[in-house]
Amino acid sequence: MTSVPVTTNGSGGRSGGSRWCPTPEQVMLLEGMYRGGLKTPTATQIQQITSRLSIYGKIQGKNVFYWFQNHKARDRQKLRKKLMALHQQHRLYPTLDHPFLPLHPIVGVEDVSTCKPMFNSWKVDLPSDQTCKLMCECPHMTMMQMDHHGSTPYCTRVPPKTLQLFPLTTTYLKEDDQDQGHDQPTSSKS
Amino acid sequence: MTSVPVTTNGSGGRSGGSRWCPTPEQVMLLEGMYRGGLKTPTATQIQQITSRLSIYGKIQGKNVFYWFQNHKARDRQKLRKKLMALHQQHRLYPTLDHPFLPLHPIVGVEDVSTCKPMFNSWKVDLPSDQTCKLMCECPHMTMMQMDHHGSTPYCTRVPPKTLQLFPLTTTYLKEDDQDQGHDQPTSSKS
DNA sequence: GCAAATTAATGATTTATTCAAG
DNA sequence: CTTGAATAAATCATTAATTTGC
């Protein structure tokens, strides 16, 4: 292949000549279209887009075509990855320069996926939505079910099972510690 | 003016008042984790981080959660702004303000609508590799000046001639805000 | 030096998206 | 087509920095 005399690229005169290198404007515009709802442009649309974007740099229809294909695919891929991470939930990463986050893995937890949604319960004072929203006031108790026969080798920091987690693990707590996150009813918002 | 005395925090100052105020140690640790690659901690990780940081001061899981959200968002925002400013100088065409909609039709092409099936045929049933090859062989001209080589059985069914520009017409990104503006009335608080 | 006034950072909420399951 | 789950963008609100006049 490549019998095509593609002197492509350019795009601001960047280096290389083998593949399209979109300019920021082009990327911006493409993303805008994508976000605007255009996921799989028709040939006509591709054409128009190409024409439009050629103002900012060299571009071909196939670039646009590929861009949308890739963008959509990567969107899905990203989401899938997230979902996976949700179920595996043990992404420990090696620390780098500082021992910042030994962050020992939680061993006995398998159903951590249930805690992610719990974060929504923080904003439980929503006006009038039909949806759940307020599942439980005590967000994180369900998450640390663990224990049982989880050996928890070095899980010293995480409380064994009695979920003190958020409020109580602080070194000092005063009576109004709850007030911080409890609710600030918009304080006379506009 | 007469800046409204924020009654919300009146008594006792901010020791337990309105919002979390991270200690330098906490900030340091959080930034270290972020730089270390932790961009969106899971609930489990948030718990661990919270527990760990609590020795330096009062902190809740939601604080950690929010911190990462904000940090990541502002990182992105900053970067995007930089990129935008980099190439904002061009502004050759007036359409940058409404980049996505106008998209005037192309002049030289009349029967472009027939190209659409072509795009479909590209990715139709060939293995991905084949598809790619096909694209490479027939890159730009295929859509632009497509000399009906007739072998497009799909072309029988053509979309409306009046190639409707884009179906999007939604909100798009409206950030523009060329300069973040100083128009912010300081007394906007209500 | 100091506070009031103003500006910049940033914590906390709300809103708009996304994909995919039902 | 609708809804669920989750997030990132946009926005609001408060704290810290800083400027400014004395």
Does the residue A85 lie in any domain?
Answer: yes
What angle is formed at CA B18 by the lines to CA B14 and CA B21, rounded to 5 degrees? 70
What CATH number is given to the structural domain containing A43? 1.10.10
Residue A53: CB partners within 8 Å, gap ≥ 6? Answer: A25, A26, A29, A30, A59, A64
pLDDT of B75-125, one tens digit each?
A: 988 888 777 776 655 544 433 334 444 343 333 333 333 333 334 333 322
Q: How many CB pairs under 8 A join A and B?
A: 215
Does the residue B68 lie in any domain?
Answer: yes
Residues 116-155 of B with CB under 7 A from strand C: none
Domain that holds residue A37: 24-92
CA/C1' separation A1–C21 (Å):
42
Does the residue A58 lie in any domain?
Answer: yes
Under 8 Å between Cβ of B7 and B44: no
Please check whether strand D approaches the CB of A120 to within 7 Å: yes
- Those nucleotides of strand C lying less than 7 Å from any protein Cβ are 5-8, 10-14, 16-20
Q: Residues A3-24: what's their mean pLDDT? A: 54
Closest CA to A182 of B33, B17, B47, B147: B17
**Torsion angle, CA of B122/B126/B129/B130, rounded to 10 degrees?**
-70
Does the residue A55 lie in any domain?
Answer: yes
Does the residue A145 lie in any domain?
Answer: no
Please check whether strand C approaches the CB of A37 to within 7 Å: yes
Residue B61: CB partners within 8 Å, gap ≥ 6? Answer: A119, A139, A140, A165, A166, B46, B47, B50
Does the residue B141 lie in any domain?
Answer: no
Instruction: Decide if B170 touches A, using CB distance below 8 A.
Output: yes
pLDDT of A81-123, one tens digit each?
A: 666 665 554 443 333 333 344 444 333 333 333 333 334 434 3
Does the residue B88 lie in any domain?
Answer: yes
What is the pLDDT at residue B75? 92
What is the pLDDT at residue B142? 31
pLDDT of A150-170, one tens digit each?
A: 222 222 233 323 233 333 223
What is the pLDDT at residue B79? 84
Q: Which of B84, B119, B133 sits opposite A24 (nearest CB)?
A: B84
Name the token pair of A139: 């967000």
Chain B residues with CB inside 8 Å of A24's CB?
83-84, 86-87
What is the pLDDT at residue B26? 96
What is the pLDDT at residue B25? 94
| Parts of chain B with a pLDDT under 50 | 1-15, 91-190
The domain total for chain A is 1
Q: In terms of DSSP H, where are the helices of chain A?
A: 24-36, 43-53, 61-88, 115-118, 165-168, 177-181
Does the residue A154 lie in any domain?
Answer: no
